[in-house]
């Protein structure tokens, strides 16, 4: 079983930076166009990235007992979750125009949770412990 600290560390060191990196091209294009992003927009990018990481961590923490030890929650799979969750979030966002800022952050967190479950589903076990001991020991 993977520890809670390992899951949170993976979300903060892999998923969060990946989600934040998705904003880099947008910021670079804005700077190239001669505009400087406002601190409010930069804070929005930061909180959206934290929402993805929180959603991913929450889903993996909920499945922690069923998650195999070799799932690699601190590796590249967590990085891919961050990138794809932001991409899916941006794709779905226009359909939630009346959701408000809190609704958008919940939707982005749900994207992080859903993609974390999808990414790590091959490493989910049945949750039952199986004994490899022989049925009859010969005594």
**DSSP classification of residue 124:** B
Buried b / exposed e across 24-58, counting CB within 10 Å, b at 16+? eeeeeeeeeeeeeeeeeeeebbeebbbbbbbbbbb
Do the domain assignments include residue 139? no
- pLDDT, position 134: 47
Supply the range of the domain harboring residue 107.
Answer: 4-123
The contacts of residue 42 (CB under 8 Å, 6+ apart) are 27
Contact yes or no for 54/13 (Cβ under 8 A): no
Between 5-14, 45-54, 74-83, 119-128, the lowest mean confidence (pLDDT) is in: 119-128
* Per-residue pLDDT reduced to its tens digit, 73-102: 999 999 999 999 999 988 988 887 787 888
Do the domain assignments include residue 79? yes
| For range 6-14, the mean pLDDT | 95
Query: Per the structure, how many domains does the chain have?
Result: 1
Residue 63 has pLDDT above 70, yes or no: yes
- pLDDT, position 138: 54
Do the domain assignments include residue 135? no
Do the domain assignments include residue 131? no
């Amino acid at each position: 079983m993977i520890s809670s600290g390992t899951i949170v560390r993976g979300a903060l060191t892999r998923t969060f930076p990946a989600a934040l990196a998705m904003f880099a091209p947008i910021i670079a294009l804005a700077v190239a166009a001669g505009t400087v992003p406002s601190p409010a927009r930069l804070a929005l990018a930061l909180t959206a990235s934290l929402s993805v990481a929180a959603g991913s961590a929450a889903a993996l923490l909920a499945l922690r007992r069923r998650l195999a030890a070799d799932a690699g929650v601190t590796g590249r799979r967590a990085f891919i979750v961050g990138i794809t969750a932001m991409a899916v979030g941006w794709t779905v966002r226009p359909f939630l125009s009346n959701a408000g800022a809190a609704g958008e952050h919940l939707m982005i967190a749900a994207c992080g949770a859903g993609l974390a479950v999808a990414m790590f589903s091959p490493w989910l076990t049945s949750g039952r412990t199986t004994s490899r001991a022989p049925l009859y020991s010969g005594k």
